[in-house]
Amino acid sequence: MVPTINELGIDQLCADDRVVLGHAILDGVTVATESAILTPAQLLELESRLAYSIAHPEDVVPWEQVKAEALARVKS
């Protein structure tokens, strides 16, 4: 189980120190995700999808529409 803020004593830190700690955590997550290595097949697929979306902008569905449709499905 993940320890809580109270268990780690973070709640005892002043606000400024908590902000610094939060930024450090986010920076660590960013570094971890940036260092994730894609397989050649995954990279090729991403490049292919990007090229297709650029060549066929009429086929691209805006995120807002995708989100609204997904939420509508969940609610029904």
pLDDT in tens, 36-69: 788 899 999 999 999 999 999 999 899 999 999 9
What angle (nearest 5°) sits at the alpha carbon of residue 60, between those of residues 73 and 63? Answer: 45
Q: Indicate the domain borders of the chain.
A: 5-34, 40-75
Dist. CA 46–CA 25, nearest whole Å: 28
Dist. CA 12–CA 5, nearest whole Å: 9
Q: What is the mean pLDDT of the chain?
A: 90
Q: What is the pLDDT of residue 64?
A: 94
Q: What is the pLDDT of residue 55?
A: 96
Q: Is 19 helix (H, G, I), strand (E, B) or coil?
A: helix
Is the pTM higher than 0.75? The answer reads no
DSSP 56: -
Q: What is the pLDDT of residue 14?
A: 93
Of the two residues 41 and 29, the one the predictor is more confident about is 41
Q: What is the pLDDT of residue 76?
A: 73
